[in-house]
Amino acid sequence: MTAMEYFQISINSVFLLMVNIGLRPSIFFQAQKFNDEALREKIRKLSSPMDAAILGIDRENPLRDDWDYVKDDIMRIAVMEKFKQNDEARDILLATNDLVLVEHTKNDSYWGDGGDGSGKNMLGNILMETRNILRAKG
């Protein structure tokens, strides 16, 4: 499988979620960081995951108080909904069989591997959890 085919299982791929109609999973995730409904709506209206990420990391926008406690579960929701709703993406994810999935980036040591394997790789872990759940459901 090519890198471009694997991109389809990325949180930034073009597949849209029916949760918060028509959002890319990454935009849904970024919007959930905040209590300010006007800011959430501004993020939801963006078409670019990069633009959503820029607003999402801007600390002039205060994060919701419980963000550190809920962010993993919000990512789980976004990832699961993506694969439940998109057959092509689900098939690609399931075709990875038991491969270890790694979000390889030096830009993120929480969701990714930090570029050198020292990161937490939470997105990779959530993708593998999702794959196991979907496989079990048949």
Q: What are phi and psi of 23, to 5 degrees?
A: -95, 145
Sequence-ordered list of residues with C-beta below 8 angstroms from that of 46, at least 6 positions apart, any chain: 27, 52, 55
Across the range 31-53, mean pLDDT stands at 93
Number of domains composing the chain? 1
pLDDT tens, position by position, 8-37: 555 544 444 555 556 788 898 999 999 999
CATH number where 9 lies: 1.10.357.40
> What is residue 110's DSSP assignment?
S
Q: For residue 4, is pLDDT > 70?
A: no
Q: What angle do CA 125, 56, 70 make, to 5 degrees?
A: 45
CB atoms within 10 A of CB 24: 23
Lowest pLDDT segment from 3-12, 22-31, 90-99, 128-137: 3-12
Q: Provide the residue range defining the domain that includes 74.
A: 3-137
Q: What's the predicted TM-score (pTM) here?
A: 0.84
